[in-house]
Structure 1
Amino acid sequence: MLLKLLLPLALSSLSIASPMPGSNAYNYNCTIDRAVDGALVNGSVPIDTSPMTAWDGPKIAAFNNTAIEDWSFDAVSDDALAGITIAFSRGTIVGRPAAQRVYLFAAFPNGTTFSDITYFDFSTVKQCRGSTVGTWTNVTTGSTWTFNAATDLKSAKITIDSPRIKGVYTIKSKSPPFFPNGKGPGDIEGDVFFSPLLYWQETAAIGDVKATFTLDGSQLEFRGVGGRERNWMPIGWAQVSDGWHMSRGVAGPYIYVIWTLDSKIDGKKYDHFVLIKNKKIIFQSASSEMSDTEKYGVYNFPIEGLIKGPFTDNSTGQGADFINPVSRERWNFVMDNTQVVYSERTGKLTGYNGFVGKVSGGKVGGKRYEG
């Protein structure tokens, strides 16, 4: 199981690189979108919120000083003792205007961690009939980080060649892609809205992953499970959210994704609970409010375990219940942290943590599975 737990993230005023003139060029039936470090346009920019456009293609055609988009990947080893998270982004981070940035955080089985945040001269996203290829390039260091994602959303591959990191990550999805409202690709009723001014697509809730990396000379290699997703917004994370938690897990035939966020835009809490069994969504709810007629989820954070992050949140795992009061069905899952993958400070008491852990759960009254 993989858990990604994110707490308040403080960012500077945000900017995003704009594609250079001619960036939406055509190349043998492919389109190429190019974004350059430090390049901006003034004023508002269009944000793609259509459910019908390519999932891994750019959602922002030109960048002002606030818009941002991410491509995120993660994984945990089968024994839950190693983990990795990788994110490609276009946007200003910690005061760097219009950054083309990628980061990689990893945990080794012995408990040590690795982190690398790299800035690039430019990025390109090339969309062809069968795949979307994103490449972030730093000419000075000779670094290239690339993701190659199949158009059918069933697989993706990351290749990294840089002074500190060399390696490959592959994922083959075991779950259907979905929008926050539970609809899938090609469904005109799909809705990318997660919370005000924040958009989300879950490309792979869980997939089979193989990771093989050399990180500062140390070998990290494992098979396990992981996921990947997209986020984009017209303003930065710190302006959208006061804090959020996100997790994904697998136990037996069950896969779940949970994301909760406290919105800075309207002061409300936004919840999304999705449960998948045998590659079909069997539960979807955007509510954590108890009800006698509507599905809802319960998300809690136990503190009895040993592994926790260094910030104000002292939870050592997560618990989740998916409740259908009409059918009187309930599913329960518990995750215990086994490793800290990253802890990045954003303030004196705030930051964001990522964990991996072991999951157990299933339908209440039925068989309980270990993940």
Structure 2
Amino acid sequence: MKACSTRWCILASILGITVQVEATWDYGSRQQTLDMNRLSSQASADNCTISRFGRYTAARRPDSVLFSANNLTDFEAPAIEPLNSTAGEQWEFDGVSDDGTQAFIFGFSRDPNWAFSGTGNLRVYAEFAFANGSRYAIVDYAEESAVESCPGRGTRGSWKGDGFEYTFTVSSDMSRATVTMDNPEAHASVSMNSLAPPRYADNQPWPSTNASAEPVRHFFWVEPMPASDITVNAMIQGEAVAWSGVGGHERIWHAFSWPTCITGMLAVRLKVGPYALSLVEFGSKRVAGLRVPAIVLVEDGKVVFSSRRTRTSEVEDYMRIQKVQSLNGVTTKRLADKTTGIELELESPSRGKKWRFEIAHKNIGFEYGFSDGSGGTGYSGVATGGLADSQPWTGPAFVELLKFPDNSWLTKSNYVE
């Protein structure tokens, strides 16, 4: 398998990654497949809406730009229409195999911030990591992007160009998703069945009228699928790929480029025994020193812990996050952050409960570098843990670490008043 070595692969990799859901939905029990073609075929009969962008579609002054900040807007619907010169959005999907040695990531992007090369605003980034340490990565620049939303059934996205098409479909309750890749070198299909309810950036479950999707200024993030059972079937450069594991799906939209809004991020996703967990932490570029985490833990599909607090408390639920450097995990050779794993401790003083999870990296899923050792690495790995003082469980885990350089022409601020 070939690795991605062009600077455009590196740049694209940083870009990732509406209906009511009943509060009693059992996300751990539903296992279904999603019909990729049904949405499009019934568009006219079901009041579907379609957002179509060409390679260079953008607002022309004095055109107005719709930038969604409505809490009840469909998570999967486009949040920016049309694009301007600074704002962008992504649909991101990732997954790790049960044994922690294989991984994938897909990033569907509508974003002008990296289009200075003349390649346009529509990119798809895909990368697969294999147990032998090799990786397949590709960035395709689409001629057309269409996102079709059908009430009661879901959303379908398509990024296509000469000889390739990448698609995603997400059900209306955000419990199921399918991602496909079709290019001359690779064909893939990924099925996802959610283990946890959709959540906003402040951890409130979908839907909510008073939730926040803005963890840091000008940067919006929601998680339609915090953790999912996944199945991967692919043929990549003539080699069959098939595995199951854990994955997730995120939605991101931003008024300015990523490095203008955030200094970096930490993400963790895991499944062990009856537990599934998702943690995302962003560092603010606009407010020095501000880091905003949000963690959710589900047991058999039901939320048992959620918090944004990292300070110890005698009353409120809180978390401890610890990066680990040891001989028991894999780490990057190129970047400065030599973390080999993550330790998490979740404590609920009011209930007298505590959960612990330890993650060891087993493989590098993707990586991109900037200057001074900064950049990002996605790891596949193995997690061990559960309720403290109980029998620990073991399962797959995903970790992403990102830090932007303080000064670089690639990450120069594009903030405007």
Q: TM-score w.r.t. structure 2 length?
A: 0.79
Report deviation, 1:182: 2.5
Task: Write the deviation string for residues 280-308 of structure 1: whole angstroms up to 9, x where unpaired.
Answer: 21222112122233222111111103410
Q: CA–CA distance in 2 between the matches of 1:306 and 1:172?
A: 29
Q: How far is 1:125 from its partner?
A: 0.3
Q: Which residue of 2 aligns with 1:33?
A: 51
**What amino acid is aligned across from residue 169 of structure 1 in structure 2?**
V
* Counterpart for residue 87 of structure 2: 67
Counterpart for residue 135 of structure 1: 158
Does structure 1 conserve the Cα–Cα contact (< 8 Å) formed by 2:86 and 2:113?
A: no
Provide the rounded CA distance (Å) in 2 between the counterparts of 1:198 and 1:326: 33
Q: Secondary structure at the match of 1:239?
A: helix
Q: Distance in 1 between matches of 2:348 and 2:389?
A: 14
Distance in 2 between residues matched to 1:96 and 1:230, nearest whole Å: 25
Deviation for aligned residue 1:348: 4.4
The 2-side partners of 1:45 and 1:68 are apart by 12
Aligned pair 1:117/2:175, yes or no?
no
How far off is 1:93 after superposition?
5.0
Comparing 346-355 with 35-44, which one deviates more in the overlay? 35-44
Partner of 2:240: 219
Match of 1:302, as an amino acid? Answer: V
Match of 1:165 in 2: 186
Query: Which residue of the partner structure matches residue 312 of structure 1?
Result: 336
Contact 2:84 2:112 in 1 (8 A): no
Q: Which of the numbers 320, 328, 346 marks the counterpart of 1:298? A: 320
AA of the residue aligned to 2:184: P
Deviation sequence 1:252-298 (CA, Å, 0-9, x none): 11111111121101121111121111212122211212223322211
**Counterpart in the other structure of 1:3:** none
For the Cα contact (< 8 Å) 1:11–1:236, is it kept in 2?
no
Q: Bigger shift: 194-203 or 82-91?
A: 194-203
1:349 to 343, 368, 373: 373
Q: Does the 8 Å CA contact 1:320/1:334 hold for their aligned counterparts?
A: yes
Distance 1:208 1:257 in 2: 13
Indicate the structure whose relative CO is greater, using CA pairs within 8 Å and at least 6 residues apart.
1
Q: Give the stretch that moved more between structures: 91-100 or 116-125.
A: 91-100
Q: What aligned pairs does 1:163-202 form with structure 2 within 5 A after superposition?
A: 163-202=184-223
For the 8 Å contact 1:207–1:225, the answer to whether it is kept is: yes
Q: Partners in 2 of 1:335 and 1:11 — Cα distance?
A: 27
Letter in 2 for 1:207: S
**TM-fit CA distance, 1:128:** 1.2
- How far apart, CA to CA, are the structure 1 residues paired with 2:257 and 2:235? 32
1:227-266 aligned at under 5 Å gives the runs 227-266=248-287
Contact kept in structure 2, 1:11 and 1:238, CA below 8 Å: no
Aligned to 1:5: none
- Comparing 355-364 with 89-98, greater Cα deviation is found at 89-98
Indicate the residue corresponding to 1:7 in structure 2. Answer: none
Superposed displacement of residue 219, structure 1 = 2.3
Q: TM-score, normalised by structure 1?
A: 0.89
Q: Partner letter of residue 295 of structure 2? A: F
Deviation track 1:313-341 (CA, whole Å, cap 9, x = no partner) reads: 00111111112233332211011001101
**2:319–2:345: 8 Å Cα contact kept in structure 1?**
yes
Moved more, 100-109 or 191-200: 191-200
Matched residue of 1:193: which SS? Answer: coil
Secondary structure at the aligned position of 1:194 is classed as coil
- Where 2:260 maps in the other structure, the secondary structure is helix
Would you say how many aligned residue pairs link Structure 1 and Structure 2? 348
2:77 paired with 1:53:
no
RMSD, aligned CA: 2.0
Ranges in structure 1 where 5+ consecutive residues have no aligned partner: 1-9, 13-25
Once the two structures are superposed, residues 42-66 of structure 1 have per-residue CA deviations (whole angstroms, 9 ceiling, x without a partner) of 4773321222121211111211111
Q: Flag as ranges the 4+ runs of structure 1 deviating above 4 A.
A: none
- SS of the residue aligned with 1:195? coil
Q: Is the 8 A contact 1:208 1:225 kept in 2?
A: yes
Contact 1:334 1:361 in 2 (8 A): yes
Picking from 326, 338, 359, the partner of 2:350 is 326
1:131-185: CA deviation from partner (whole Å, max 9, x where unpaired): 21100011xx321111111112111111221122212111111221111223222
| SS of the residue 1:321 aligns to | strand
Shift in Å at residue 344 of structure 1? 1.2
SS at 2:252's partner residue? Answer: strand
Letter in 2 for 1:31: T
1:171-211 superposed Cα distances (whole Å, 9 cap, x missing partner)? 11122111122322232233212221111111112211111
Q: Is the 8 A contact 2:11 2:368 kept in 1?
A: no
Q: Quote how far apart the aligned CAs of 1:235 are.
A: 0.8
The 3-state SS of whatever aligns with 1:367 is coil
1:101 has 2:135 as partner: no
Q: Partners of 2:376 and 2:182 in 1: how far apart?
A: 27
- Identity, % of aligned pairs? 26
What SS does structure 2 have at the residue aligned with 1:289? coil
Q: Is the 8 A contact 1:181 1:284 kept in 2?
A: no
